[in-house]
Amino acid sequence: MSNCQCGCKCNCTLWSVIAAVAVGVLAAFLQITGQITVTPAFLWVLLGIAVVYLAVLVVSAALSRWENGCACLCTLLNVLLAGVLGTVLFSVVLLGLGVTAGSVLSAILVGLLLLSFALTVAGSACFVRCKVGCGN
């Protein structure tokens, strides 16, 4: 792929990672204190969203491979892929284990799940920003 130099001004992946870490830490804290609960329905919805994102990511990567678009596309696709695969992994693990309020392991897994999902959402915003405004 020839567009992996990340030379344009639209690289906002650092901000998306910082925001995702903040969301993950906050979610873990709220889970351990019992302020939020994570139901299996929520986990299934996140799993479905992540699978759809994965399909869109594969199609988008296949289509953008042939165009001379944004130079930071490789970085953004890596961030999106990490977020999507993390969301799938942690939602499946939490569906298998079950979530209990007050459990340290559940709080860590919920934090990692929401970190991955926030990374997916923030990475998507960066991807759209890159595709729309690269070179400005």
Say if residues 120 and 50 touch (Cβ distance below 8 Å): yes
pTM for the full predicted model: 0.82
**pLDDT for residue 68 is more than 70:** no
Q: What angle do CA 17, 62, 51 make, to 5 degrees?
A: 55
Residues 6+ apart with CB under 8 A from 60: 77, 127
> pLDDT tens digits, residue range 69-125?
555 677 778 888 899 999 999 999 999 988 877 788 889 999 999 999 999 999 888
CA distance 18 to 5: 22
**pLDDT for residue 4 is more than 50:** no
Query: What CA–CA distances, in Å, run from 1 to 30, 65, 71, 73?
Result: 42, 7, 10, 10
CA distance 23 to 13: 15
pLDDT, residue 23, reads 94
**pLDDT for residue 135 is more than 80:** no
Average pLDDT over residues 22-48: 91
